[in-house]
Chains A and B, each alone.
Chain A
């Protein structure tokens, strides 16, 4: 696949698609979209290249935001943090990066690499480390390919930064998480420096193109007064889990994460049924009234506003809101033993064994 460019206007679709693959978490990509749009307006379009076009000896670096997306809605970045983190990582490694990687093709982090790519002029590789959003730093395909998250640089808007070296990606998560909090709840990071060869081995392919496509489908369907659910299901080989209205929402904070459960009463074809979805920032499990799973992490559970057709985040869930839940099969890498160990139901404390979406009852 050849390289292509993303312009200011096209960021709209990227952000909408990123919100959908955010599976309810990862924050609203609106701020990231605006940042990318202003960087593109100033420096020109972003070039997206295929992983196959990456040279094996290239240095490729993911850049992303870490912390609470809600904080980012209030304390907007300075704009220079991600670039500063990248430059410090380059200085530490003694070489310049050749390409950027998106770590998380869902939520705010689906758009931030576009802003950095525009500002640095570096190409962005068409793929990411999650194929969706996940709450923790080690939850990437690169961890399964034994790529170390460190050396990593974390930077805030005040000019503070630090280099982290850790013995495992889980340790990186712990150390970086506590620094993020001290920095005011959000920070920008450059991490998982890797070679082009490692990119080709570990990256989940073509997800930047995918969110672009998803965004175009959502925009196009809405422009024609159709809810995008059906078109997305067909395009993404997904499954309509149910359409329902939130009748109860319970949230609690555990270990610094927003965990919760939403109970939904079925509507339309699902009239008379009851459903439950659990989340830890992202939607992790969807169950029917008999507690039978309809979809389980790492398969994607995506929510669309049943009326307006736009992606809905877990923080937007409220009493009375009607949503259509869509299940999408996750990348095959997540369905491996290592993948299930990293992000399967058991890691998040659910007793249910992972069963692929396709094998679950409707």
Chain B
């Protein structure tokens, strides 16, 4: 059986056909307004190139930046009734307090505060105020709001009150979709609540988009299950994405890094994705992108999603190469960008770019090499050195250990990468240009637990970690992971400062291969 991986980016839609560990064919198309036609073009291209019988494709995995772009561009955002259970606590900072004004307005700017919520140890701050919920429901109906989010204080330790509130709302407003913060986020009320509100505001778009994907697959005669990749490179079922579009927010860079890991078989290394204008550099650990330590901003909103730690530098195939009065040669950050095919010297233009340097030095064979044959050797030498220095610095920033780990070069601009960077070997996989579609095709299933445990009544830290691991494993299996392939990739505990009773916050994440998939990820 075969798998189809698709990456729907802002500019390009790429598709690959894979059989077990082999990439049979890749195809690049343009992303279209309706999504569907771009996906159809890409997948037909890949299927055609591979010559595979489409009835033998049994799984489709899609990576998309569609929902991230919607938030960043403030498009297709619906108004949300943002209901928080926490009074008398939390009143000083109402829902969306730290959002940019334009996004808050796009999301309806309707925050409601209700008595309720929990303490860190599970006691109620106040009983849920159901009468207030009734008044809010009347308001929702009067204003014809279609989606609501519910966020309770400490819901990651107890989801009950959020669930009760949802049932209550659905009785009075049966047509409203309700998103619970505890289904989405971790400890950190504002960040989790913001994620729930953004999620609610994107529900209509995710419904349409997932349907567009389904339509594209159906029209191509592909009648099989399809999955969408989430932030950490693992998969969600299409129905889950309809409910939780925010979980796809960082899938773009994640897929390109995971794809690079797969194409090379490396589980640790530095992935350098060189495009036309910028280079994204990230580290792979155990085959997964290393996550950012600090809080990540999406469209101006602080979130606590797990996102890859990606460092960007202004270097790409189209970077301008210039010599200043002191005779120093600089490369980037300015770039001719997508106009490279007209403006670079080797393409008949008259702008000296990083690509021209690579061609002049015989490191790449693109365009018309005779147009750069006359370049001054001193300039090309200095430009080469400047490019290498930029790449080396970026790689050093992402390097995890002094051990010699490989550098994996992907992306259209990876011709700029030398064969070695200081003591590090550079690997250039085949199919480097469609690494992110490959990343989608090889994604895994995960399960995660992040909660405060109380180490009392004889409970040990080890026992709690084990319990968390078991819960995470159950979640992964419920999401479709094959039990035999499950392994723990994150396991950490943070004792809560100043609290006796040994309250500790435990975070465990496990991953496994998709049930029934013969293909395995790298390693």
A residues in contact (CB < 8 Å) with B = 25, 27, 30-31, 34-35, 38, 66-71, 73-80, 115, 135, 157-159, 177, 180-181, 184-185, 245, 247, 249, 251-253, 255-259, 265, 267-268, 271-272, 281, 305-308, 310, 312, 315-316, 318-322
Report the separation of the CA atoms of residues A115 and B93 in the bound assembly, to the nearest whole angstrom.
12
The answer to whether B492 and A71 touch across the interface, beta carbons within 8 angstroms, is no
Taking CB as reference atom, which chain A residue is nearest B455? A253
**B23 to nearest A CB, angstroms?**
29
25 A-B contact pairs sorted by A residue (CB < 8 Å) = A27-B497, A67-B498, A69-B497, A70-B505, A71-B499, A74-B120, A74-B153, A76-B90, A76-B190, A77-B90, A158-B126, A184-B120, A184-B123, A185-B121, A185-B498, A245-B401, A257-B498, A258-B495, A265-B402, A267-B396, A307-B397, A308-B294, A312-B294, A315-B494, A320-B285
The answer to whether A157 and B495 touch across the interface, beta carbons within 8 angstroms, is no
The answer to whether B93 and A68 touch across the interface, beta carbons within 8 angstroms, is no
Report the separation of the CA atoms of residues A25 and B497 in the bound assembly, to the nearest whole angstrom.
9
Chain A hits for B154, CB < 8 A: 74-75
**A184 to nearest B CB, angstroms?**
4
Report the separation of the CA atoms of residues A272 and B117 in the bound assembly, to the nearest whole angstrom.
50
B362 within 8 Å of A (CB atoms):
no
Chain A hits for B499, CB < 8 A: 67-68, 71, 181, 185, 256
**B237 to nearest A CB, angstroms?**
30
B147 within 8 Å of A (CB atoms):
no
The answer to whether A310 and B294 touch across the interface, beta carbons within 8 angstroms, is yes
The answer to whether B119 and A257 touch across the interface, beta carbons within 8 angstroms, is no
B386 within 8 Å of A (CB atoms):
no
Report the separation of the CA atoms of residues A77 and B88 in the bound assembly, to the nearest whole angstrom.
8
The answer to whether A252 and B495 touch across the interface, beta carbons within 8 angstroms, is yes
Taking CB as reference atom, which chain A residue is nearest B98? A34
**B482 to nearest A CB, angstroms?**
27
Taking CB as reference atom, which chain B residue is nearest A66? B498
Given contacts A255-B500, A281-B498, A310-B294, contact A75 B311 (CB under 8 A): no
The answer to whether A74 and B189 touch across the interface, beta carbons within 8 angstroms, is yes
The answer to whether B93 and A253 touch across the interface, beta carbons within 8 angstroms, is no
Report the separation of the CA atoms of residues A184 and B293 in the bound assembly, to the nearest whole angstrom.
28
Report the separation of the CA atoms of residues A135 and B396 in the bound assembly, to the nearest whole angstrom.
36
Given contacts A258-B495, A307-B397, contact A70 B402 (CB under 8 A): no
Chain B hits for A74, CB < 8 A: 120, 153-154, 187-189
The answer to whether A75 and B498 touch across the interface, beta carbons within 8 angstroms, is no
Contact of B92 among A68, A78, A310 (CB under 8 A): A78
Chain B hits for A316, CB < 8 A: 293-294
B258 within 8 Å of A (CB atoms):
no
The answer to whether B88 and A157 touch across the interface, beta carbons within 8 angstroms, is yes
Taking CB as reference atom, which chain B residue is nearest A260? B495
Beyond A67-B499, A185-B121, A320-B290, list 8 extra A-B contacts (CB 8 Å).
A34-B190, A68-B499, A75-B119, A79-B93, A247-B401, A253-B502, A268-B396, A315-B494
The answer to whether B294 and A38 touch across the interface, beta carbons within 8 angstroms, is no
The answer to whether A76 and B92 touch across the interface, beta carbons within 8 angstroms, is yes
Chain B hits for A181, CB < 8 A: 499-501
Per CB-CB distance, the 9 closest pairs between chain A and chain B, nearest first, are: A79-B92, A253-B495, A256-B500, A184-B119, A76-B90, A157-B89, A68-B498, A258-B497, A321-B293
Contact of B498 among A76, A180, A306 (CB under 8 A): A180
Chain B hits for A321, CB < 8 A: 293
Report the separation of the CA atoms of residues A308 and B505 in the bound assembly, to the nearest whole angstrom.
25
Chain B hits for A315, CB < 8 A: 494, 497
Report the separation of the CA atoms of residues A357 and B329 in the bound assembly, to the nearest whole angstrom.
42
The answer to whether A251 and B493 touch across the interface, beta carbons within 8 angstroms, is yes
Report the separation of the CA atoms of residues A312 and B121 in the bound assembly, to the nearest whole angstrom.
27
Chain A hits for B498, CB < 8 A: 66-69, 135, 177, 180, 185, 256-257, 281
Q: Per-residue CB proximity of B495-523 to A under 8 Å, as 1/0?
A: 11111111111000000000000000000
The answer to whether A78 and B402 touch across the interface, beta carbons within 8 angstroms, is no
Q: Most A CB atoms within 10 A — which of B187, B293, B505?
A: B293
Taking CB as reference atom, which chain A residue is nearest B192? A74
**B82 to nearest A CB, angstroms?**
14
Complex interface residues of chain B between 79 and 101 (CB less than 8 A to chain A) = 86-93, 97-98
Given contacts A185-B119, A318-B293, A320-B285, contact A251 B89 (CB under 8 A): no
Chain B hits for A34, CB < 8 A: 93, 97-98, 190
Report the separation of the CA atoms of residues A259 and B502 in the bound assembly, to the nearest whole angstrom.
12
B283 within 8 Å of A (CB atoms):
yes
B364 within 8 Å of A (CB atoms):
no
The answer to whether B125 and A35 touch across the interface, beta carbons within 8 angstroms, is no
**A245 to nearest B CB, angstroms?**
6
Complex interface residues of chain B between 386 and 413 (CB less than 8 A to chain A) = 396-397, 399-402
Complex interface residues of chain B between 116 and 142 (CB less than 8 A to chain A) = 117, 119-121, 123, 125-126
Report the separation of the CA atoms of residues A322 and B502 in the bound assembly, to the nearest whole angstrom.
28
Given contacts A76-B89, A157-B88, A185-B119, contact A257 B497 (CB under 8 A): yes
The answer to whether A77 and B117 touch across the interface, beta carbons within 8 angstroms, is no
Chain B hits for A157, CB < 8 A: 88-91, 125
Report the separation of the CA atoms of residues A218 and B182 in the bound assembly, to the nearest whole angstrom.
34
Chain A hits for B294, CB < 8 A: 305, 308, 310, 312, 316
Taking CB as reference atom, which chain B residue is nearest A310? B294
Chain A hits for B93, CB < 8 A: 31, 34-35, 38, 76, 79
The answer to whether A318 and B492 touch across the interface, beta carbons within 8 angstroms, is yes
Chain A hits for B285, CB < 8 A: 320
Report the separation of the CA atoms of residues A27 and B494 in the bound assembly, to the nearest whole angstrom.
13
Chain B hits for A75, CB < 8 A: 86, 89-90, 117, 119-120, 125, 153-154, 189
**B124 to nearest A CB, angstroms?**
10
Report the separation of the CA atoms of residues A252 and B492 in the bound assembly, to the nearest whole angstrom.
12
**A154 to nearest B CB, angstroms?**
14
The answer to whether B86 and A76 touch across the interface, beta carbons within 8 angstroms, is yes
Chain A hits for B500, CB < 8 A: 181, 255-256
Taking CB as reference atom, which chain A residue is nearest B398? A307
**B127 to nearest A CB, angstroms?**
12
Report the separation of the CA atoms of residues A30 and B117 in the bound assembly, to the nearest whole angstrom.
22
Report the separation of the CA atoms of residues A30 and B226 in the bound assembly, to the nearest whole angstrom.
40
Given contacts A68-B499, A245-B400, A256-B500, contact A78 B90 (CB under 8 A): yes
Chain A hits for B123, CB < 8 A: 184
**A148 to nearest B CB, angstroms?**
22
The answer to whether A76 and B189 touch across the interface, beta carbons within 8 angstroms, is yes
Report the separation of the CA atoms of residues A259 and B504 in the bound assembly, to the nearest whole angstrom.
12
Given contacts A185-B119, A253-B455, contact A68 B90 (CB under 8 A): no
Report the separation of the CA atoms of residues A305 and B125 in the bound assembly, to the nearest whole angstrom.
36
Contact of B497 among A68, A79, A252, A265 (CB under 8 A): A68
